Amino acid sequence: MTVTYMTGEGLRKLKEELKEMESVQRPEISRQIADARDKGDLSENAEYDAAKEAQGMLEGKIAQLKSLIASARLIDESTIGTDEVQIMNKVTIKNVHTKKMMTYTLVSENEADLKNARIAVNTPIAQGLMGKKVGDVAEIIVPSGTMTFEIVEISI
């Protein structure tokens, strides 16, 4: 079983999502299946087929979430330092070529949200920054080539 590191907030959101699936979505799909079954011949009933397919997909998602929750290990945010880049750090980097500054928070894969500048620690950029200190330069291979970043600031 793969261990997944996450914050308390990330785990709480997963548990809420699971509860919603089990207590709201699952009964709704069961109702749809029952309604479709009441309409007669199941061999030519597209509504029944669609509802059964939706049920299968939902059950797969529920199983996946349960597995993720079972393998979750909480990150003790009080032990996170800023001497070098690590998970849960907010890192300000400067693209050496364009001089553009960017700030990202490095999070677990399931908490990544690029719109909110939260990137997963398993992405090429995060991997290239891990373990670096302020002032270090990181050459990171990305799909479009090699990018060079200078670490400007590390915070929590």
* Rounded Cα distance, 97 and 106, in Å: 23
**Boundary (domain end) residue, out of 74, 97, 126:** 74
Instruction: Mark whether 48 and 13 lie in a shared domain.
Output: yes
More confident residue, 40 or 16: 16
Judge if 83 and 148 occupy the same domain: yes
Q: What pLDDT sits at residue 91? A: 96
Domain that includes residue 99, residue range: 79-155
Residue 108's pLDDT band, with cuts at 50, 70 and 90, is confident
51 shares its domain with 113: no
* Domain co-membership, 112 together with 62: no
What DSSP string describes 18-54? Answer: HHHIIIIIHHHHHHHHHHHHHTS-GGG-HHHHHHHHH
Q: In total, how many domains does the chain have?
A: 2
Asked if 133 and 83 count as a contact pair (C-beta separation under 8 A), the reply is yes
Last residue in a domain, options 25, 50, 74: 74
Predicted confidence (pLDDT) at residue 1 exceeds the cutoff of 60:
no
pLDDT, greater one: 96 or 76 = 96
Task: Give DSSP secondary structure letters for 77-104.
Answer: GGG--SSS--TT-EEEEEETTT--EEEE
